Copies of this chain bind each other. A is one copy, B any other.
Amino acid sequence: MTPNDFCSIIERIAPKSLALDYDNVGLLICPEKNEIKKVLVALDLTVPVAEEAVSGNYDLVLTHHPIFFDAVKSISPETYETAAAYKLIRHGIGHYAAHTNLDACIGGVNDVLCELFLLSDVRPIPPENLGRIGLLPKPMPFSDFCILCEKILNVKGRFCGDPKRIVRSIGMIGGAGGSDVQAAFDAGCDVLLTGEMKHNQALLSEHLGLNCCVMGHYETEFPVLKPLISRLQNENNDVQYVLTHSGRAPLRCL
């Protein structure tokens, strides 16, 4: 598979046109060789992920978060912003980022969250259409939904809103969805499940009466990786797609 072949495949899944304007997506580091046999898949291009790519003889690292989100004017193996990029280039390995386009696409970050919770009637949350809203199989008290969240995502969360309220329509915005509180409310969500929420965004949720489950940036984006690998693998069995064993949530409960 050439790099161009890979781009065609991933962009059929997560078209670049779905990415938000400010984003930096696509083939951000070209691999040196024109043949790609092994692709490492992770949420973040950290130094440990880059080292795993080197030691495992990968040709490409596919991540959700882009390297070079801000443009750079120098490259060093020491600096946080460029260390992993340095290591990849040093070994001829490429880097592809599918970020907000992977949030927004069919079968992407937020659709996978919906599937985990068995939501039905799933549709995008306007106006950005990154997130999703769908219905639980049956209504339940918010306190029960919180327990379900921690069980399904296997992490302790933080929650906002009345535990006794019966909820059914759930908004799913993996990652930093706190800026979409108003959008989720306007779309009719009883609950917004997301990864990160700032203090004043939580106060807005309380004011609106939108219940929220804040489960961690990593924990709400990680679930997309395995289904994504399956879809990519299905396209082409000569290429090996591997989920990183170096990735983990940077912020963890005790």
> Which residue of chain B is the closest to A205 with respect to CB atoms?
B250
Closest beta carbon of chain B to A167's beta carbon, Å: 15
**Contact between chains at B73 and A24 (CB < 8 Å):** yes
Given contacts A68-B74, A73-B68, A85-B75, contact A202 B251 (CB under 8 A): yes
Does A100 have its Cβ within 8 Å of any Cβ on chain B?
no
Determine the interface band of chain A, counting residues with CB < 8 A from chain B.
35 or more
The stretch of A27-35, A105-113, A229-237 that contacts the partner chain: A27-35
- Residue numbers in B under 8 Å from A250 (CB-CB): 160, 199, 202-203, 205-206
Kindly report how many copies of this chain are found in the complex they form together.
Answer: 6
Report the bound CA distance from A143 to B199 in whole Å: 26
Closest beta carbon of chain B to A151's beta carbon, Å: 11
> Which residue of chain B is the closest to A89 with respect to CB atoms?
B89
Does A76 have its Cβ within 8 Å of any Cβ on chain B?
yes
Q: A75-86 CB contact bits vs B (8 Å, 1 = yes)?
A: 111101001011
